Amino acid sequence: MISIDGLGKTYAGGLVALNNINLEISRGEIFALLGPNGAGKTTLINIVCGIVNGTSGQVLVDGYDTRSDFRVTRAMIGLVPQELPTESFVTVWNSMKFSRGLFGKPANPEHLEKVLKSLSLWDRKDTISMELSGGMKRRSLIAKALAHEPEVLFLDEPTAGVDVELRQDMWNLVADLRDKGVTVILTTHYIEEAERLADRVGVINRGEIILVEDKDKLMRELGKKQLSLHLHEPLAEVPSQLAGYRLELSEDHRKLIYTYDAQQNRTGITALLSELDAANVRFNDLETSQTSLEDIFVDLVNKNR
Ligand SMILES: Nc1ncnc2c1ncn2[C@@H]1O[C@H](COP(=O)(O)OP(=O)(O)O)[C@@H](O)[C@H]1O
Ligand SMILES: [Mg+2]
């Protein structure tokens, strides 16, 4: 659905915001683009949407070039921008109607009504934008982006600073769109969002894509598991005969932590437990935990500083 080839962007003044970006996104996919502030997420989205021009490379949407076939590609795309627009005297309804018309779609009040209801905005349809709260404004931007039934939806940090309820509504909305076959690309700081929604995850840092991976695969491969043993008696130090396991002792000396790779056939857990027994280390309880996408992300970005 989207094909980005050798894309670069240098802003006037010389700042290189994107450097040789190559990325393919399939129809119906939910793709999360993660990256720290200033990484180039918004620039990338704005280029695909035709709001900013790239300095080099090419972007195709459903095979159409975003520069030479701008009208076609833009009509296929809905964009929920990161920045909330400043005061406006246009009502929620009219802004949707206008946007739909702008992209050359015939009027369809039933569709607009359905979108507004799914965003709990129906009772605000005649309210002007400047009289909406921040959360409502965000909802109205989503409604506007969906007014012309786009095949691709970009959500640029949709849940930054929004309330829990809107976040939940948004997640449901994305699930609905996925069922309809809409391609969704979202950028987020909020990694739990990517963990929940995305089929695939891309990580961008300093204008370069440093990783693109199937989310489940990423979490399987980079995810480490930890086994924590709650000790019966605090230990002064890790017994020397257990040195081979690289165990960590918690600060209060009451927990031994073993990190292992859950993908390996031999995790070493069985051997560890029998050696603990032999060393007379007893424990009351144990638990395992898995690194989150957030841990993986922080690691990756730190490595690429
Ligand atoms: N219009 C602009 N002119 C000059 N530099 C810009 C402009 N927009 C963004 N930048 C710079 O480009 C880099 C990437 O910004 P942006 O794409 O907004 O990142 P992100 O969305 O990941 O936070 C940043 O260093 C930012 O300051
Ligand atoms: Mg941004």
Closest residue to atom 5 of ligand 1, CA basis? 11
Paired tokens of 33: 């683009």
Instruction: Transcribe 222-290 into DSSP letters.
Output: H--EEEEEEESS--SS--GGGGGG--EE-TTS-EEEEEE-TTSS--SHHHHHHHHHHTT--EEEEEEEE
**CB of residue 17 inside a 6 A radius of ligand 1:** yes
Among all ligands shown, which has an atom nearest to the Cα of 34?
1
Question: 2-220 has which fold?
Answer: Rossmann fold (3.40.50)
Q: pLDDT tens digits, residue range 223-235? A: 678 899 999 999 9
Spacing, Cα 191 to ligand 2 middle (Å): 15
Angle in degrees, 0-180, between the axes of helices 92-102 and 109-118, rounded to the nearest 10? 130
Domains 2-220 and 223-303 share a fold: no
pLDDT at 28: 95
Which atom number of ligand 1 is nearest to the Cα of residue 43?
Answer: 17
Mapped onto helix, strand or coil, the DSSP state of residue 167 is helix
Would you kindly state where each structural domain of the chain is located, as residue ranges? 2-220, 223-303
Sign of the CA dihedral 15, 301, 42, 19?
positive
Paired tokens of 54: 């790239």
What's the average model confidence in pLDDT over 208-225?
Answer: 82
pLDDT at 222: 67
C-alpha distances (whole Å) from 11 to each of 19, 59, 157 are: 12, 18, 22
**CB of residue 39 inside a 6 A radius of ligand 1:** yes
Q: pLDDT tens digits, residue range 188-201? A: 877 778 888 899 99
Instruction: Name the least confident of 16-20, 121-125, 188-192, 213-217.
Output: 188-192
CATH of 223-303, one of 3.40.50, 3.30.200, 3.40.1360, 3.30.70: 3.30.70
**CB of residue 59 inside a 6 A radius of ligand 1:** no
Angle in degrees, 0-180, between the axes of helices 109-118 and 134-146, rounded to the nearest 10? 140
Q: pLDDT tens digits, residue range 43-66? A: 999 999 999 999 999 999 999 999
C-alpha distances (whole Å) from 19 to each of 35, 43, 257 are: 15, 11, 41
Mapped onto helix, strand or coil, the DSSP state of residue 186 is strand
* Per-residue pLDDT band at 159 (split at 50, 70, 90): confident
Spacing, Cα 7 to ligand 1 middle (Å): 15
Q: pLDDT tens digits, residue range 247-289? A: 999 999 999 999 887 767 788 899 999 999 999 999 999 998 8
